[in-house]
């Protein structure tokens, strides 16, 4: 596990944040609170679309990483072909479900009186198109991760990050129609899929074969991804649930008050994400060849991430009012500042939890993480309803931070036997 691999990932995750820092204030000013809130919901739903690979992308990374160190490299094309067909099917199902929800009037559950329901429905239908793209992209990205081609992933992430914020910004200069803003997100996901596929196929050039779908490989992938399926569906839902509860209880405008400090604080998790993306395939291989080295590798990076996150989030909590004022070109909303500071606590816990999560999955222990997430669902939903009702957006931040503390504590206990 090289530091350069982590650096590539950090660059790929960090540069889009700089683009967001420039464009988000202009988007907020051009769109207004309700329409920007709907755009934020769209970002969340598209992010959730990656979960529709049902763990197959993660299983692909682990399986190919293991095959690379053995004498079975010729099986890799079959793994990719099988995984691609599976994720295309699951993404297609998700697309149909979202489309049906749109026609059934799901847009009425979002309180955005300034936006016509026809516009909201068109936006939801466009979002449905992005879901299979996200699901299949996860598989192709997993191939690149297994081959440690992080520089290629970085290229796509930078382009996607630029499009994710830049295209809506350019459209907002001419119109504030939500469906047109969402259309730009769909186009960018389609282009990202093309690049992920191109880079993944380049990894397999030396193997010659294109691969084919096989039942045994599908069973192997589902064996790993079976319980991870639960996590891959539930975990992103838990991550994004706060803004949807806020929209339903307080209205779309309140989402903006919450999502601005949320993006500032939670995006600092790019550090732990950069580390865990590299650590997962590295630890997966070492657990088969040198378990002690795997343990030392994990502990070394866990300490590094903890120190950096504690120092960084402490400083961020202190300067948050100034940062929001400078960024948005107006005095920081006290509610947003409070939300951000509460979230800082949860972010530190989440960075640790992500490390334990990667360790458990490298060992193949997807069942235990899925059970933890299932336990969290009713607890978190109940906490959101109560805390948002009585404390507003600050209550949502409290619920989010408490869930992260609970999640990390559980994963730490369960990971003791992983190495």
Q: CA 68 → CA 65, 77, 198, 292, distances in Å?
A: 5, 12, 20, 20
Q: What is the mean pLDDT of residues 241-252?
A: 86
Contact between 44 and 129 under an 8 Å Cβ cutoff? The reply is no
Question: How far, in Å, are 33, 162, 258 from residue 26 at the CA level?
Answer: 12, 15, 17
Residue 44 main-chain phi, psi, to 5 deg? -65, -45
Would you call 341 exposed, middle or buried from its count of C-beta atoms within 10 A (0-12, 13-18, 19+)? buried
Strand, helix or coil at 374? helix
Q: What pTM was computed for the model? A: 0.70
Mean pLDDT for 389-397 is 93
- Between residues 369 and 210, which one has the greater pLDDT? 369
Q: What percent of the chain has pLDDT over 90?
A: 26
Distance from C-alpha of 277 to C-alpha of 141, rounded to nearest angstrom: 11
Give the confidence band of 247 by pLDDT, cuts at 50, 70, 90: confident
pLDDT in tens, 289-342: 677 887 888 888 888 888 888 998 999 999 999 999 988 888 888 999 999 999
Average pLDDT over residues 390-408: 94
Please say if the pLDDT value at position 207 is more than 80.
no
pLDDT of residue 7 exceeding 80, the answer is no
pLDDT of amino acid 6? 65
Please tell me the predicted confidence (pLDDT) of residue 15: 74
Of 320, 312, 306, 259, the C-alpha closest to 36 is 259
Q: How would residue 191 be classed by pLDDT, with cut points 50, 70 and 90?
A: very high
Q: Convert the pLDDT of each residue in 128-168 to its tens digit.
A: 999 899 889 989 998 888 887 877 888 888 888 888 888 99
- Flag whether pLDDT at 60 surpasses 80: yes
Choose from 30-44, 164-178, 283-297 the range with maximum mean pLDDT. 164-178
Contact call for residues 280 and 355 (beta carbons, < 8 A): no
Question: Model confidence at 214, in pLDDT bands (50, 70, 90)?
Answer: confident
Kindly report which listed range (205-209, 215-219, 239-243, 376-380) carries the lowest average pLDDT score.
Answer: 205-209
Q: Is 395 in contact with 389 (CB distance < 8 Å)?
A: yes
Give the separation between CA 394 and CA 353, rounded to whole angstroms: 23
**Helices 291-328 & 252-266 angle (0-180, nearest 10):** 130
Res. 12: pLDDT tops 90: no
30: pLDDT confidence band, cut at 50, 70 and 90?
confident
Instruction: Please state, rounded to an integer, the average pLDDT across all residues of the chain.
Output: 84
Residue 169 phi, psi dihedral angles, 5° rounding: -65, -45
């Amino acid at each position: 596990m090289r530091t350069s691999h982590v650096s590539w990932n950090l660059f790929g995750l960090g540069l889009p944040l700089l683009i967001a820092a420039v464009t988000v204030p202009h988007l907020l000013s051009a769109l207004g609170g309700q329409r920007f809130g709907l755009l934020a919901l769209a970002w969340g739903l598209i992010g959730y679309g990656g979960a529709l690979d049902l763990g197959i992308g993660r299983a692909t990374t682990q399986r190919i990483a293991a095959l690379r160190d053995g004498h079975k490299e010729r099986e890799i094309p079959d793994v990719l072909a099988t995984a691609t067909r599976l994720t295309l099917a699951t993404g297609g199902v998700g697309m149909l479900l979202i489309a049906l929800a749109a026609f059934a009037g799901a847009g009425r559950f979002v309180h955005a009186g300034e936006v016509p329901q026809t516009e909201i429905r068109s936006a939801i239908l466009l979002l449905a198109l992005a879901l299979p793209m996200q699901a299949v992209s996860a598989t192709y990205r997993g191939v690149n991760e297994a081959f440690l081609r992080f520089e290629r992933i970085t290229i796509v992430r930078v382009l996607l990050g630029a499009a994710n914020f830049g295209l809506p910004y350019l459209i907002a200069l001419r119109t504030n129609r939500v469906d047109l803003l969402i259309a730009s997100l769909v186009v960018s996901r389609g282009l990202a899929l093309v690049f992920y596929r191109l880079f993944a196929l380049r990894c397999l050039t030396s193997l010659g074969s294109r691969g084919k779908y096989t039942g045994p490989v599908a069973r192997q992938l589902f064996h790993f991804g079976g319980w991870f399926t639960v996590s891959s569906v539930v975990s992103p839902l838990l991550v994004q649930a706060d803004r949807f509860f806020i929209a339903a209880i307080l209205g779309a405008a309140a989402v903006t008050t919450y999502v601005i400090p949320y993006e500032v604080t939670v995006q600092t998790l790019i550090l732990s994400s950069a580390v865990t993306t590299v650590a997962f395939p590295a630890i997966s291989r070492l657990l088969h060849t040198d378990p002690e080295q795997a343990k030392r590798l994990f502990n070394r990076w866990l300490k590094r991430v903890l120190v950096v996150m504690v120092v960084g989030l402490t400083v961020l909590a202190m300067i948050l009012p100034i940062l929001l004022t400078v960024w948005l070109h107006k005095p920081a909303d006290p509610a947003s500042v409070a939300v951000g500071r509460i979230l800082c606590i949860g972010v530190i816990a989440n960075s640790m939890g992500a490390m334990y999560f990667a360790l458990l999955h490298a060992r193949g222990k997807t069942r235990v993480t899925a059970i933890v997430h299932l336990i969290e669902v009713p607890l978190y939903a109940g906490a959101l309803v109560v805390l948002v009702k009585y404390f507003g957006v600050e209550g949502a931040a409290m619920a989010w931070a408490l869930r992260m503390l609970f999640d990390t504590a559980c994963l730490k206990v369960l990971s003791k036997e992983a190495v």
